[in-house]
Structure formats: structure tokens, C-alpha cells
Homo-oligomer: A and B are copies of this chain.
């Protein structure tokens, strides 16, 4: 079986992945399990199933502001139009995403995590390159923010593989039908 591209991301019930200024301070449960949060909810199991991460430049920069780069030992691709020197962890690229995914799928390996943000997800979605969606629906309506789903996507029929609840978050796991 070929490696899968998995979008694993949290969104508010109203479909936002961040506040307008990029803040993700609302990524918390509803308090029903006070010591749990997004990263405790099946994250370790998921992370063990992938060996490659893909993200946009703004997401990469934001992740670094949180502390040490968290995906060491995992092959990383960061999309940017800027010429940047690769480092031990990530390769900067502006290769067509279809070409990159085609190449990665020709190689053996574990699954591929499409991390975000909104721009690169939109690119993948419009080209229908996402095999599975693992969406953590946070128990809040943000009211405004950066939407996960932009307009004018193709219609994509999904199959619900599993739902789980953890600390007031609903994890929805879909594959393309």
C-alpha cells in the first residue's frame, strides 16, 4: 500500500485553524480532563505512523517560536518562495506539490503529515492530494479567524473511519471514498 498524505489538524467548530493574527491559544479541551490537551489525544500514535512532515514557511517560523523544532528525525519539507539553505531537519522547497508527493509516494516509507498552514493545505486540497483527514474539532466557536477550508474546493466524498473524544475534543478521522 502506498504511503498516505494525512492532514492532521485542529479546527474550531466554525472551521478556523487560527485566530486572524495566527494565535492558537484556544487549542485546549473543554476542561473535562484538565491535564490533557491536543497533543495528548492520540498524537503519539499518529506521530509514530509518519516519517515525513510538510508545512508552509509561516507555520515553520511559528513552530520555532514555540521552542525547539519538534519534528527532529523526521524528514521535513518547508514550502517557501525564498531561497533558503537547508538545515539538518528541513529542506526548503517550492517544487510543485504534485511532483513532490508523486516522488514521495514512489519511495518506501511511512505516511506523510501535511501540517499546514492554510495556504499549503488549500494547495493540496484543490489538487486533491490528501488521502486522509484527521480533524480535531475543538469545543469552541471562534467567530473569526483563518479558515481551514477556503472557497471553491473540489467536492470530495469521505468515509468516516473513526470518531474519538478526548478532553472535550472530537477527533474525526476520514479517508477519501
A139 proximal to B (CB < 8 A) = yes
Contact call A170/B170, Cβ cutoff below 8 A:
yes
Number of this chain's copies in the assembly equals 2
Q: Given the complex, which residues of B lie within 8 Å of A32, measured CB to CB?
A: 159-160
Q: Which residue on B lies nearest to A150, using beta carbons?
A: B14
User: Count the A residues whose beta carbon is within 8 Å of the partner chain — how many?
Assistant: 37
The A contact surface, by secondary structure, is: loop
How far does the alpha carbon of A153 sit from the alpha carbon of B32 in the complex, in Å?
Answer: 25
Contact call A139/B163, Cβ cutoff below 8 A:
no
A149 proximal to B (CB < 8 A) = yes
**Between-chain CB contacts (< 8 Å), 16 pairs:** A13-B174, A14-B15, A14-B153, A26-B155, A30-B157, A30-B159, A32-B160, A137-B172, A139-B157, A139-B159, A139-B177, A141-B149, A141-B154, A141-B158, A143-B156, A170-B170
